[in-house]
């Protein structure tokens, strides 16, 4: 496993975050499967650096943009949505997932 980190630039907030792997599984914990296409890295706060992976971002299932995990940037309901796509798809999402959206469905 390469330890060189790649950079994620969130499509919503433009924050840059370092990640190690992209996909549904991480080599740090191959027995864990992510539902969304996760961007993960070793947890920098864990006592054991080879402990469980930390998910720092994901790929929006609609527009394929990389987004961070902050609630103002992305939401998860069956798959990951950037907040822009969540607004566009609000008729198909529970109001709890997109609480700031005015329900026009």
Domain boundaries, the chain: 6-92
pLDDT at residue 96, rounded to an integer: 85
β 21-26/29-42 pair status: antiparallel
User: 3 pLDDT band (50/70/90 cuts)?
Assistant: confident
41 exposed, middle or buried (CB, 10 Å; 0-12, 13-18, 19+)? Answer: buried
pLDDT over threshold 70, residue 75: yes
CA distance 40 to 23: 8
Q: What tokens were used for 82?
A: 């950037």
Place of tokens 């930390």: 54
CA distance 19 to 36: 15
pLDDT digit string (tens) for 23-68?
999 998 989 999 999 999 998 888 886 778 999 999 999 999 999 9
């Amino acid at each position: 496993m390469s330890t060189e980190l790649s950079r994620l630039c969130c499509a919503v907030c433009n924050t840059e975050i370092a990640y190690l792997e992209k996909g549904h599984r991480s080599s740090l914990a191959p027995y864990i499967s992510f539902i969304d296409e996760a961007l993960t890295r070793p947890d920098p706060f864990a006592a054991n650096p080879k402990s469980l992976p930390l998910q720092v971002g994901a790929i929006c299932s609609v527009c394929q943009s990389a987004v961070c995990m902050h609630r103002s940037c992305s939401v998860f309901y069956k798959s990951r949505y950037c907040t822009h796509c969540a607004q566009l798809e609000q008729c198909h999402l529970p109001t709890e997932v997109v609480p700031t959206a005015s329900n026009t469905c």
